[in-house]
Amino acid sequence: MANFKDSPHFEVEDQYYTPIENWAKIIHLIPKNVLIWESCMLNATKSKSIENLTSLGLNVIGNTKWDMLEYEPENYDMIITNIPFETKIKQKILKRLMEIGKPFIIIMNSCNIHSNYFNEIMDLDNTQIITPRGKLHYVKHGEEMKKNTSFYSVFVAYKMNLKNKDLFV
């Protein structure tokens, strides 16, 4: 079996990447002229998120060598990322996002928003859930996107003050 493990942070070989179609669903919610940090590269070399977000007209910084658990760029306005599926890493990243305190939009499995850890870590007064119509689909190991995702995802927005009409995309 080929080794698809794409980051030293991941214990298992189950990396999924976010196609441009997912980011396009929220592009209208992102303020213009902000500098975005795509923060969850975590040394993953196969992710195309920076390229995808940039092609949607966003000003994006990020680097596969920047590990958000230990690094933060000096200048940026908000974070947009798809955090890892693995719970241990996810909890560390959520804590780090709260520590940083900047506005963000992240993608998560919808079941996570009902978990104890999510509700204990997140500042719920400043958190909004953006619900996509239908399932978001992902690219696994550089393959083509297949519409067979077994779970539902949501976008979690923090300090975005979105209107109710924008919470369903």
Instruction: List, for residues 51-98, the tens digit of each pLDDT value.
Output: 999 999 999 999 877 888 889 999 999 999 998 888 998 999 999 999
Q: Which residue has the tokens 């870590």?
A: 121
Return the CATH number of the domain spanning residue range 16-167: 3.40.50.150
Nearby residues of 12 by Cβ (< 8 Å), 6 or more positions away:
5, 86
pTM equals 0.88
Mean pLDDT over 123-133 rounds to 97
Q: How far apart are CA 6 and CA 48, in angstroms?
A: 13
Domain ranges in the chain are: 16-167
Task: Give just the sign of the alpha carbon dihedral 21, 59, 26, 93.
Answer: positive
3-state secondary structure of 155: strand
Q: Confidence class of residue 2 from pLDDT cuts 50, 70 and 90?
A: very low
Going by C-alpha positions, the residue among 126, 132, 121, 127 that lies closest to residue 154 is 132
